[in-house]
Structure 1
Amino acid sequence: MPVTSAGLLLHHGRGADAHVLIAHMGGPFWARKDERAWSVPKGVVEPGEDVAAAARREFLEELGVPAPDLPALDLGAFRYASGKVVHVLAVEVPAALVGSPDDPACADLLATRPGVSTVQVEWPPRSGRRVDVPEVDRAAWVDVARARPLLVAGQQPVIDALVAAT
């Protein structure tokens, strides 16, 4: 059975002028990568868990701050080539959030937000050595045109869905 995840895409502005909050994947494999190394903050939906609740929980776990308590728009479910399905909800926030003390964007999540979620990986590959790395290491606001090449391939259609819906 394919893995099902849920994510929350914060945005301000509408249509092609929108800016979105995306997160750079953490760990040594992604450290020097930029294009195709970013994601909507997301994670696995637990059995019996509501998609919206999972998306908000994962946002908090990955970015270390709660998602704004604002209405969410369901952008749909997006299937990766691997079969994984990601449900994405969009939350429109005021532009004034950007740069404020409540802004979830952060240049270095580990240094500024202790408690962000980590995952254990084998590094270097096939070494047998296991290290804990953050699931995401930073988050940033980018315009939708810039977001497309940054996001992993399976999430690029999310941007088109957001632009069409706003």
Structure 2
Amino acid sequence: MKISAGILLFKRLKEHTFYFLVHPGGPFWKNKDLGVWSIPKGEAAEGESLLDRAKIEFLEETGKAVDGNFIELMPITQKAGKKVFAWALEQDVEISGLISNIITINWPPKSGRTIEIPEVDRWEWFSSEEAKQKINPAQAGFIVQLEEILSSE
């Protein structure tokens, strides 16, 4: 089973909570929106610290390092079977200066040709309702968990 680790960044403004999500780069995702956004995350190697992997992935996909009081969330399993571990972190990030790492993919699929694409092509803050529509459906569970935690504070 593949395991990924990521960070659900959030910020609170008055009575509203906003969530930071990333949109995958490349031609396959170009015109897709609802259900394809994600927390910044990536695959972890066996035995690797998952929180360390989550921080590395955030840096690779945004160009920004984050640290602070992480809130561990219960892992979720995505439709294709990947298990995702996540930590929530309350912090604001200005999206205008973000930059993603570049990855190489086969395109078109099974063509034997490769192209370089940014791993992430957009970053946005979304309200709770918007975020739950934009995010990968399984990852919406992270938002629900965090909101339960925050409401009990």
TM-score by length of 1: 0.82
Stretches of structure 1 that go unaligned for 5 or more consecutive residues are: 98-102
- For residues 43 and 104 of structure 1, the distance between their equivalents in structure 2, rounded to whole angstroms, comes to 22
Please provide the CA RMSD for this pair. Answer: 1.8
**Counterpart residue number, 2:78:** 80
Describe how 1:1-166 pairs up with structure 2 within 5 A.
2-13=1-12, 17-67=16-66, 69-93=67-91, 97=92, 103-106=93-96, 109=98, 113=99, 116-166=100-150
Distance (Å, rounded) in 2 between the aligned partners of 1:17 and 1:80: 27
- The superposition leaves residues 119-144 of structure 1 with CA deviations (integer Å, 9 ceiling, x where unpaired) of 22222234332111111111111111
Residue 38 of structure 1 contacts residue 151 of structure 1 at CA under 8 Å; is this kept in 2?
A: yes
Q: What CA deviation, in whole Å up to 9, does each residue of 1:71-103 have, x standing for no partner?
A: 10011101112221000100012xxx3xxxxx2
TM-score, normalisation: structure 2: 0.88
SS of residue matched to 1:137: strand
- Residue identity over aligned pairs, in percent, reads 34
Any idea what the Cα deviations from partners look like across 1:17-57, whole Å, max 9, x if unmatched? 21010001110111111111210000112222211111101
Answer whether contact 1:26 1:135 (CA < 8 A) is retained.
yes
